[in-house]
Structure 1
């Protein structure tokens, strides 16, 4: 994506940090066209082939995607699709043939192209260390409610808070 472009072109749906970047929560961003993982993985695998080698595994949060298969053949290669219920609903982890794994913040397919373009640019910034929620919310993309609740609970909150003296 051009630095001076605020809107995301249709073909620019993946961005990665440069190799010598700060580590952080994510290695880049992905803006799929739908919530059908089996339809989206082939294009993602092609785009990531150079940076991480042939994709062989995609770990995803099942609550964020439609029903999917456990594996598919993508460009003559087997790709495992592994649903992990405890995974952040805003990311996918993609592992390539050279055992390099990238964590991508997933921009919802229905996101506005200007906001999506901004998230793609920010997530792939060399020194970006923002969490997925900050990246999405910071550019006006609504967060998944179930992730906000589970994150609050995992950080010490409780869903059944008792009132003091009650």
Structure 2
């Protein structure tokens, strides 16, 4: 099986974008959106300051260093890939994708207007790597923050695992 991939630019409004299996995520939100102890988009204090990703069922919020257009790459692998040696920060978590259709959006990009990717309909392990790069090939707002390629590697897994930081980037990290 050849690896499937999707490279895209997205407006990381409010310094984030989402990778979600939208149908089960929306169903989960119907039951949990008003929970007073639930941080929006999974953005706990540790998520903001250490992990750089927010995690909820069927959803990963990727924190970006810029409130701007950012470049991302999602690759689906048959097996766990090697880590990217040039990445400044690397974190892994699980992403349950029971429908096998991932939607990519942000606070400024509706899921219907963002890219999508078909993946194995099962529990996936997701590795998010922050790889230093040049500005994307589009005009940006010129605001503060370093440029990264946000690389998301996905592969099937049979067993749920906790979030793990494989390489901790500097802190503070955004802006």
TM-score by structure 2 length? 0.31
Larger radius of gyration between Structure 1 and Structure 2: 1
TM-score by structure 1 length? 0.33
